């Protein structure tokens, strides 16, 4: 450590501070009381060569949510410091079906599905990542995996022991619970590890659920006497319920596709106690500079997130909409408008027609529950009729509002 110039150590430490924000674990390469990331940065500065940072993405589910963007956010931080982001599309691996579904074997996807998924995935991922060519090197693992012969594959397998593979928590559980594991699933971590060999990357990023797979890459690099990658894992983000991990099936997610108002509202609905985590993992705002009042902080968080996935104006509009709608309980500007040309006048049919309820029965229930208002007046009568030529604001609950004109 003594023969390294002071300014390099200082710069490495500065970058390290930025990059280690919110990380779960930094694995491998620890030395002299400093972690592997620090030493990778020192090496990079000494050689004046940017670090190559791998992040594997599976185009199995095309729609990504904020949970997925946690790692992307870290990757972006690397880009902002001049390092090279190497997003890797597992086009080859997901043709095979991977085991990360915890207990179920995933069905393999067709070529077209993968291409379509990858495309939408990119559109969404690049709302976080920079497209600057100097800091981006996008790869597909079919590039090298399809070149492997069966003999190559066998040799590769010889470099990993069975004990090592099945120590992975997921496999252990499945063995214990008599859930079937197919041979090909055992190869999955090896393939993913081989990606790191082929890409010669310095660092691999992943969620904590990917720790095992990422470390396999490090192992295979070590076997080949390569300079092995270090692994940085990010925690899995809690969903809007504040308890479970964010996931589509739990319906506690904020999708990067969500409309501005929706996105802002969902952010406002997260419990206060996980707000700091959102700031830490999704933004670069220093945690000691947050507004004191939790509501102000949450609004700030909402703006930052809406801004990232939409634009600045949308963020402000979403906030204003939220404030009129929920804080002041008033009807906001910019309501969606609709003209009813069909021959409808009964309130039940109209509510169903505009999509505020699934059936007349549901609409009837909503009226009974005082959820329906016309021009701010609660409607208690389910036989209420609209007049033709009438224009009015129809509210169902606090979220669904529309300006209607009857032809």
Question: Rounded to an integer, what distance in angstroms lies between the CA atom of residue 268 and that of residue 67?
Answer: 16
Question: Rounded to an integer, what distance in angstroms lies between the CA atom of residue 308 and that of residue 302?
Answer: 10
Q: Which is nearer to RNA, 132 or 323 (CB)?
A: 323
* Residues whose CB falls within 8 Å of the CB of residue 330, separated by 6 or more in sequence, listed in order: 324
Q: Nearest-CA neighbor of 59 among 133, 134, 131, 138? A: 138
Number of Cβ within 10 Å of residue 228's Cβ equals 22
Q: Which is nearer to RNA, 176 or 225 (CB)?
A: 176
Q: Which is nearer to RNA, 289 or 369 (CB)?
A: 369
Q: Which is nearer to RNA, 161 or 359 (CB)?
A: 359
CB of residue 8 to RNA, shortest distance in Å: 44
Q: Which is nearer to RNA, 234 or 350 (CB)?
A: 350
Instruction: Determine the Cα angle at 137 with ends 136 and 141, to 5°.
Output: 145
CB of residue 383 to RNA, shortest distance in Å: 9
CB of residue 322 to RNA, shortest distance in Å: 6
Q: Are strands 52-57 and 84-89 parallel, antiparallel or unpaired?
A: parallel
Strands, E assignment, 226-328 = 230-234
CB of residue 299 to RNA, shortest distance in Å: 8
User: Across-strand partners of 233?
Assistant: 25, 206
Task: Give residue for tokens 């095309």.
Answer: 62
Tokens of 104: 């179920």
- Provide the residue count of the chain: 407
Q: Nearest-CA neighbor of 223 among 169, 157, 163, 150? A: 157
Q: Which is nearer to RNA, 191 or 300 (CB)?
A: 300
DSSP code of 326?
I
Q: Which residues in 35-49 are b (16+ Cβ under 10 Å) and which e?
A: bbbbbbbbbbbeeee
Number of Cβ within 10 Å of residue 179's Cβ equals 14
Q: Nearest-CA neighbor of 60 among 21, 7, 26, 100? A: 100
Q: Which is nearer to RNA, 211 or 400 (CB)?
A: 400
Q: Which is nearer to RNA, 47 or 328 (CB)?
A: 328
Q: Nearest-CA neighbor of 29 among 223, 169, 227, 298? A: 227
CB of residue 108 to RNA, shortest distance in Å: 17
Tokens of 76: 């972006």
CB of residue 189 to RNA, shortest distance in Å: 23
CB of residue 256 to RNA, shortest distance in Å: 15
* Phi and psi angles of residue 123, each rounded to the nearest 5 degrees, phi first: -50, -40
Alpha helices in 288-359 (DSSP H): 294-309, 312-322, 347-353
Interface residue list for RNA (CB under 7 A): 178-179, 241-242, 251-252, 261-262, 264-266, 268-269, 271-272, 294-295, 298, 322, 326-327, 348, 352, 358-362, 364-366, 369-371, 396-400
CA 131 to chain centre: 18
Question: Rounded to an integer, what distance in angstroms lies between the CA atom of residue 42 and that of residue 27?
Answer: 17
Q: Which is nearer to RNA, 343 or 369 (CB)?
A: 369
CB of residue 173 to RNA, shortest distance in Å: 12
Q: Which is nearer to RNA, 155 or 250 (CB)?
A: 250
CB of residue 388 to RNA, shortest distance in Å: 20
CB of residue 73 to RNA, shortest distance in Å: 23
């Amino acid at each position: 450590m003594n023969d390294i110039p002071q300014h390099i150590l200082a710069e490495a430490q500065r970058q390290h501070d930025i990059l280690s924000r919110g990380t779960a674990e930094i694995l491998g390469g620890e030395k002299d009381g400093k972690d592997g990331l620090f030493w990778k940065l020192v090496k990079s500065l000494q050689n004046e060569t940017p670090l190559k940072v791998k992040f594997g993405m599976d185009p199995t589910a095309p729609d990504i949510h904020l949970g997925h963007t946690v790692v992307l956010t870290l990757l972006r931080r690397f880009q902002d410091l001049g390092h090279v982001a190497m997003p890797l599309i597992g086009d080859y691996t997901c043709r095979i079906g991977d085991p990360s579904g915890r207990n179920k074997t995933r069905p393999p996807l067709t070529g077209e599905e993968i291409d379509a998924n990858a495309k939408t995935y990119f559109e969404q991922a690049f709302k976080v990542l920079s497209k600057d060519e100097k800091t981006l090197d996008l790869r597909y693992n079919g590039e090298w995996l399809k070149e492997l012969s069966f003999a190559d594959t066998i040799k590769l397998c010889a470099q990993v022991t069975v004990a090592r593979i099945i120590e992975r928590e997921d496999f252990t559980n499945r063995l214990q619970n008599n859930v079937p594991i197919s041979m090909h699933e055992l190869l999955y971590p090896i393939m993913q590890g081989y990606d790191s060999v082929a890409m010669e990357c310095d660092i691999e990023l992943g969620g904590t659920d990917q720790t095992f797979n990422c470390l396999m890459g490090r192992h295979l690099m070590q076997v080949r006497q390569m300079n092995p990658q270090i692994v940085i894992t990010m925690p899995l983000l809690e969903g809007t319920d504040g308890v479970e991990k964010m996931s589509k099936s739990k319906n506690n997610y904020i999708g990067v596709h969500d409309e501005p108002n929706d996105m802002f509202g969902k952010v406002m609905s997260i419990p206060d106690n996980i707000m700091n985590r959102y700031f830490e993992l999704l933004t670069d705002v220093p945690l000691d500079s947050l507004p004191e009042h939790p509501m102000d902080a949450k609004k700030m968080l909402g703006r930052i997130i809406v801004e990232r996935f939409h634009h600045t104006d949308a963020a402000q509009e979403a906030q204003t909409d939220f404030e009129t709608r929920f804080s002041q309980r008033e009807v906001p500007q910019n309501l969606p408008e609709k003209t009813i040309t069909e021959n409808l006048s009964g309130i039940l049919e109209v509510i169903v027609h505009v999509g505020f309820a699934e059936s007349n029965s549901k609409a009837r229930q909503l009226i009974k529950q005082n959820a329906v208002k016309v021009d701010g007046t609660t409607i208690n009568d389910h036989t209420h009729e609209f007049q033709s030529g009438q224009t009015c604001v129809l509210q169902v609950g606090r979220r669904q509002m529309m300006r209607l004109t009857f032809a």
